[in-house]
Amino acid sequence: MELALNEEQQMIQDTARSFAESELAPAAADVDSGKGRDAMLANLRKLAELGFMGLNVSAEYGGSEAGVVSFSVAISEIAKACASTAVTMSVTNMVAEVIQAVANEEQKQKYIPKICSGEYAAGGFCLTEASAGSDPAGMRASAIRDGDDFILNGSKLYITSAEYAGVFVVWAVTDKEAKKGKGISCFLVEADTPGMIIAPAEHKMGQHGSATNEVIFDNCRIPATALMGELNQGFKIAVGELAGGRIGIGSLALGVATAAMDYARAYVLEREQFGQAIANFQGIQWMMSDAYTDLEAARLLLMNASYLKEKGLPFGKQAAMAKLFATEKANEVCYNALQLLGGAGYLKDHPLERYARDVRITSIYEGTSQVQKIIIARELLAEAAAQQ
């Protein structure tokens, strides 16, 4: 693979960086404080206009056809300025991709252009439940056929952008007698469908600008035409899309951690103790050296996973490795960057405390670090068994 970005990928990275610096960074603190929701929604629309809500989506449906590598580098640049915006962009791209991959032509034509154009501020990915987080096959939400409709009941937790999503991809059990994970189907549910209730936003440690809600289905009637893909074959759709989502979250973590260390690096050049800049001390230099080495390794792992997905090659193990390494190291880097500022890093006068709060969730959502290790180990053992 080519490690350098090509001309188009470089242009997308530059565009994302410019937009992040000019539009997102000035509003990031307000978004974090809860005052900047309108500004964030406006910026989501601008990102759509730039083509960033369908980076790996066909132009036939309004996408950019820029590919997975471009998606990864764009997410990282956006996350440097605002993690809340970046996670919304990541999930919305994932929703557009799953519709493109699985839906019928009528569904594609109906929903993807609205996502890519910004007519829908975001897309919702409704998979997680109280008893089905790391084990999504254990979901209990159900969809029962009733004539020409399905009736949805149950609830989904921690749904990103639920307050302003235009369409939701929803998984539910359609065959309760089937083996675990085998009787699950996937549906497209439009916002404001009667019986779908969006609970108040959760109060989170970080990423405050990104709404996270419980979505409740109370005898929610949807047409049978809302079924996406084959009946009872929805679980494999979820598993496949989560692998791609891990590239997005790993890229987000990389962006946040890079911003944190870049800020700390500038700070240590100015901060003086014992009559000199603290950047002159070997201990400080080693902390920075370790951090930037880890960030570069994370970038290369993410690029490799992105490249494999873009080429249509197996990428699940590599995506899990990239997500595991990038998010764990990003947490370390953000805390070390805060440490480099000393007491100042703990104050809201500097963005380090926000970076540390925003990055923490990245090693949890789209599959915890522990789940990534399970996935990696399974792949490694399967490869070894196949060679025997």
In angstroms, rounded to a whole number, what is the distance separating the alpha carbons of residues 355 and 75? Answer: 15
Q: CA nearest 315: which of 326, 297, 335, 301? A: 301
Strands 227-228 and 184-190: antiparallel
366 tagged catalytic: yes
- AA identity, residue 91: V
Residue 195 gets which letter from DSSP?
A: T
Q: E strands, the chain, where? A: 122-126, 142-146, 149-160, 165-173, 184-190, 196-198, 212-223, 227-228, 272-273, 276-277
In DSSP notation, 209-237 reads TS-EEEEEEEEEEEEGGGEESSTTB-HHH
Q: CA nearest 364: which of 158, 69, 163? A: 158
Q: Determine how many CB atoms are found less than 10 A away from the CB of residue 384.
A: 9
Cα end-to-end span (Å), the chain = 29
| Residue 158 contacts residue 128 (beta carbons within 8 Å) | yes
Contacts of 125 (CB under 8 A, 6+ apart): 91, 94, 95, 98, 159, 160, 168, 169, 241, 245
Catalytic site residue from 97, 241, 353, 366? 366
- AA identity, residue 5: L
Tokens in use for 307? 């490249």
Which sequence positions are flagged as catalytic? 366
